[in-house]
């Protein structure tokens, strides 16, 4: 169950990552073509950070209990 949750969080990170990379590229060029305000951008960034922190916590708990083997593709 925890590994499925980690997969969901990974999907959230991948979804937000594409948008955040595009926003960063727009910021470096000096053009803002995404049509999203800065408040929404900070909300997406916070969601991505929270998902990454939760993934790290879940994997540390799974590894702490010894449930994660060296053959676990998700933890690798």
Domain count, the chain: 1
Q: Quick check: is 60 in a domain?
A: yes
49 lies in which domain range?
A: 39-64
Tokens of 35: 């049509």
Condensed to tens digits (0 to 9), the pLDDT of residues 22-45 reads 888 877 777 766 677 778 888 888
**Contacts of 30 by beta carbon, 8 Å cutoff, 6+ apart:** none
Q: Quick check: is 58 in a domain?
A: yes
Q: Quick check: is 45 in a domain?
A: yes
Residues of the chain with pLDDT > 70: what percent?
78
Q: Quick check: is 20 in a domain?
A: no
On whether the CB atoms of residues 48 and 37 are closer than 8 A, the answer is: no
pLDDT at 10 over 70: yes
pLDDT bucket at 4, cuts 50 / 70 / 90: confident
Q: Quick check: is 34 in a domain?
A: no
CA atoms lying within 13 Å on the CB side of residue 2: 16
pLDDT at 13 over 70: yes
At 68 the pLDDT is 59
As a whole number of angstroms, the distance between CA 51 and CA 45 comes to: 10
């Amino acid at each position: 169950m925890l590994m499925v949750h980690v997969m969901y969080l990974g999907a959230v990170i991948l979804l937000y990552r594409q948008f955040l990379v595009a926003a960063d590229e727009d910021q470096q060029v000096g053009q803002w073509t995404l049509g999203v305000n800065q408040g929404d951008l900070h909300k997406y960034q916070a969601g991505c950070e929270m998902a990454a922190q939760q993934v790290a916590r879940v994997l540390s708990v799974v590894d702490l209990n010894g449930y994660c083997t060296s053959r676990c593709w998700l933890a690798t």
